[in-house]
Structure 1
């Protein structure tokens, strides 16, 4: 009983330390959260608008060119998001709970694993497959089943989340863990919209 109480007390203490280490009023922290939430909303809205109206295809007279424009935009927004995430963490104080060699080593491992998932999934899908090409009517011939898709679903999202988590642990910042939680949640919500819609596209491809 005493052991259980002690563990509960230590967990409570650790949670308080993590929360107290976060500066919620920092501007870069707020901007980082904004881009974490905004980016998936943006690419889902724009890609669906393209699917229903072909506005990028009409603008460029070529679906591939339109897809490349969207890809550059999404990639750029990702760089901006990552920049503010790093800046936000640099301005936050280190949490005593996360300030140890094991946490830092785990952070490095998670970053490496995350980047492997992201890079290999992009390699398997290509630029068009990665950046909503199916919304432009550019469909893949068959479902990709090679690594990393044979070890996990949605490796791009999983890898991105692991990278955020790893960097947060490496820096020892509680704010990073909170931002990572939002990264995970917005990806999960995005998938609720993306996966059924993608299945619909491949079941009923539009022929114009």
Structure 2
């Protein structure tokens, strides 16, 4: 482990500002949407901004999150172009593995969005737009966070396609940020649905299921 850490400065050029910008964008996006979504849940400030229309407010946040994802991806690609390549990551096999990872990652992300819909994907729970039942079909029968893991796979695949060790390093940052986000998001989202069930139990209403994961990070 120590030898790997000693060799890391030779594999990744930490003097490049583009690397720092990319890492910052990676960490910023989930932090941003978690703060905004929780504030919306507690204060409804976005819904009030859109005249009480929670659907429109959710779509506005969705557009913002998607746009931030595009910026993050641009900064990631630019950072890779400024980084040194490594012979072990060049050649047919690493490149083919990279394209396969990107393809599989996109399948997880796109199929998740298809299953959840726009509001289910982009934090509709925090706007009071709850799903009727828990999503159990593909890809949620594989993992409870297919979007996050699919996005991580795409980052790693891109790193292999470019043949850049820095991409693997930034993929580690992506995975770490997502794992932290999951620890904050899943319990909070579960409590939103549990609260609905408690309210239904009091009124004798029909019970429904719950959706645990449904966040988008492109």
For normalisation by structure 2, the TM-score amounts to 0.86
Query: Is residue 45 from structure 1 mapped to residue 35 from structure 2 by the alignment?
Result: yes
Matches within 5 A, 1:1-20: 12=3, 19-20=9-10
Q: Which residue in the other structure is 1:21 paired with? A: 11
Q: Distance in 1 between matches of 2:36 and 2:79?
A: 28
Aligned length: 197
Q: Which residue in the other structure is 1:5 paired with? A: none
Q: Contact 1:60 / 1:66 at 8 angstroms: preserved in 2?
A: yes
Aligned alpha-carbon RMSD (Å): 1.8
Q: Which residue in the other structure is 2:175 paired with? A: 184
The structural deviation recorded for 1:15 is 6.6
Q: Distance in 1 between matches of 2:144 and 2:136?
A: 10
Residues 180-200 of structure 1 deviation map (CA, whole Å, 9 limit, x = unaligned): 000000000000000000000
Secondary structure of 1:204's counterpart equals helix
Query: Is residue 140 from structure 1 mapped to residue 107 from structure 2 by the alignment?
Result: no
Secondary structure of 1:146's counterpart equals coil
Matches within 5 A, 1:58-137: 58-61=48-51, 62-137=53-128
Q: Distance in 1 between matches of 2:157 and 2:38?
A: 32
Q: Distance in 2 between matches of 1:100 and 1:153?
A: 34
The structural deviation recorded for 1:18 is 5.3
Task: Identify the range of structure 1 (130-139 vs 151-160) with the bigger mean alpha-carbon deviation.
Answer: 151-160
Unaligned 5+ segments in structure 1 are: 1-7
Q: Contact 1:106 / 1:166 at 8 angstroms: preserved in 2?
A: yes
Secondary structure of 1:147's counterpart equals coil
Query: Is residue 197 from structure 1 mapped to residue 197 from structure 2 by the alignment?
Result: no
For normalisation by structure 1, the TM-score amounts to 0.90
Q: Contact 1:17 / 1:95 at 8 angstroms: preserved in 2?
A: no
The structural deviation recorded for 1:17 is 5.4
Q: Contact 1:18 / 1:95 at 8 angstroms: preserved in 2?
A: no
Q: Distance in 2 between matches of 1:59 and 1:162?
A: 36
Q: Distance in 1 between matches of 2:167 and 2:88?
A: 13
The structural deviation recorded for 1:100 is 2.8
Query: Is residue 32 from structure 1 mapped to residue 22 from structure 2 by the alignment?
Result: yes
Unaligned 5+ segments in structure 2 are: 200-218
Q: Distance in 1 between matches of 2:64 and 2:5?
A: 38
Secondary structure of 2:89's counterpart equals coil
